[in-house]
Structure 1
Amino acid sequence: MRFDLSSLKAIVTGSTLGIGLATAKGLAQAGAHVVINGRKEEACTKAVKALQDAVPGAKIEAYVGDLSTAQGCDGLLKAHPHCDILVNNVGIYGPKDFFETPDELWQQYFDINVMSGVRLARAYLPSMKEKGWGRVIFISSESAQNIPQDMIHYGFSKTAQLALSRGLAKRMAGTGVTVNSVLPGPTLSDGAKEMLREKMKETGRSLEQVGHDFVMQQRPSSLIQRFATVDEVANMILYVASREASATSGAALRVEGGILETIF
């Protein structure tokens, strides 16, 4: 299925690498005018060039700013007051024992993973409603339902995204605007590749082999028994951003390889 997003403007937060960059590429290939985002000018410049090389003729812009703050979100809104597709991808993760996680870290995860999406959805949804069409997508995680005992602060923030997207979908009911979440599992992002390369050096095994071992140790219920690629995750995001996904709203769309032990 080929999606046509020409004439539409998409904003993908936290999109200089990984799932965000792959999503921006897919949206650009479908004809959307894409705005990427990162905190560093150099990373944004590099990402814009990579996208323009991959999708010649695509309209790509960058907003450099920290969306964990109200000021950063306001700056994005001033630079790009209109948006048809909002992909709330920016986020952080990392292990930390619950009893060693200070208030400041809890607040940091909440500000970046949750409040960035709150602020941008609050700003862009009214014009989408007025137009009668729009897409808001939160990139959550299988950790939203399968809370990691060593990353409770992270799982909490991802569960909050599910509540937020479901509530906003209800708020936008009947308007032509859909709001959904996408739940990736272990994904072969740049950070994951770097981690696995260390294991490859230690063991002399291939990327596929060490990736399989990691997934089976950390997420043994995985049905695909490997890392997903960033493009596989981006494919789900691209679908839910499309016009063809008009009957999908309020959903938590799983692209986690079958890790979650639930039918629904």
Structure 2
Amino acid sequence: MDLGLKDKLALITASSGGIGFEIAQALAREGTHIIINGRNQSSVDIAIQTIKKQQPDAVLHPLVADNGTALGTQETITNFPDVDILVNNLGVYEFVGFFEETDGDWLRLFEINILSGVRLSRHYLRRMLDKKWGRVLFISSEQAVNPWLRIPHYIATKAMQLSIARSLADLTKGSAVTVNAVLPGTARSDGVKKLVRKLYPTMSPEEAERQFLTDNRRKHSPDDLLDPREIASLAVFLCSTTAASTNGASYRADGNVIAA
């Protein structure tokens, strides 16, 4: 199937690793030109080299910028004033109980998880509307509607992404621009694997993953962490011309964690 993504330019924030990297790699397979973003040159270079090994003809642009800051988003916009596809993937989390979370913790996650997408969307969405075509995608989380007990500040930002995506979709009337959100379950990304090892240092990786899910999820949870490539496949479809009628929607890729 031709997804109509050849030669489109896509910016995926935090795409040097994790789900963002898998989305970048999957879009590159469709002939999309990709802006690989990370906070340091080394991670960006490694990501580009990894994709190039599998896809020598991939068109990849490096972008070293911290989009969790106002300065970083301005650097991104200055270097790449126009894109066809924006995937707001940047997000951080931490296991801190509600009573231990400080105002600073809340503000820091709001700055990174919310304002990064708001600032970039404010710039790129307007240009997409002028061109009458574009895709904006927010990578949220199933926790937005199925919250854990241990990370309320992170969950709040993920829920807010859904309402932002829905609101922005209302601005796209009369164009072929869409704004959607994806709700991934807990995937086997580098960040999650590092967290699991930290929480269960004496267990094997397989045992630690299952214990992590047992301790933190509800009865509908899958037995294993999800494959990030499956989440990337959904993201690619939502970025494609094939998904033109999908707008203002929140799509689950959660492995049946959400019991509704």
State the TM bucket, normalised to the shorter chain: over 0.9
Identify the match of residue 222 of structure 1 among 220, 223, 244.
Answer: 220
Give the unaligned 5+ runs of structure 2: none
Higher mean C-alpha displacement, 60-69 vs 21-30: 60-69
Distance in 2, matches of 1:54 and 1:114, equals 33
Give the unaligned 5+ runs of structure 1: none
The match for 1:77 is 77
Distance in 2, matches of 1:243 and 1:255, equals 20
The match for 2:194 is 194
Distance in 2, matches of 1:92 and 1:223, equals 22
Distance in 2, matches of 1:145 and 1:261, equals 10
1:261 deviates by 1.7
Distance in 2, matches of 1:2 and 1:119, equals 31
Q: How does 1:1-264 map to 2 (within 5 A)?
A: 1-196=1-196, 202-204=202-204, 207=206, 210-222=208-220, 224-262=222-260
Q: Residues 72-130 of structure 1: CA distance to partner in whole angstroms, max 9, x if unpaired?
A: 11111111011000000011001111121111111110010000000000000111111
Distance in 1, matches of 2:151 and 2:39, equals 24
Distance in 2, matches of 1:200 and 1:67, equals 31
Q: Residues 159-211 of structure 1: CA distance to partner in whole angstroms, max 9, x if unpaired?
A: 1101100000112123110000001111000122334457887345x62x543
TM-score, with structure 1 as normaliser: 0.93
Kindly provide the amino acid, as one letter, of the partner of residue 247 in structure 1: S
Paired residue secondary structure (2:11): strand
How many equivalent pairs are there? 260
Measured on the aligned residues, the alpha-carbon RMSD in Å equals 1.8
Distance in 2, matches of 1:75 and 1:196, equals 33
CA contact (8 A) 1:4 1:31 kept: no
**Percent of pairs identical after alignment?**
37
Q: Residues 39-58 of structure 1: CA distance to partner in whole angstroms, max 9, x if unpaired?
A: 11111111111111121111
Paired residue secondary structure (1:31): coil
Distance in 1, matches of 2:220 and 2:192, equals 17
Kindly provide the amino acid, as one letter, of the partner of residue 89 in structure 1: N
1:203–1:7 distance in 2 versus 1, CA, 3 Å: closer
1:131 deviates by 1.3
1:101–1:194 distance in 2 versus 1, CA, 3 Å: closer
CA contact (8 A) 2:148 2:217 kept: no
CA contact (8 A) 2:148 2:216 kept: no
CA contact (8 A) 1:221 1:258 kept: no
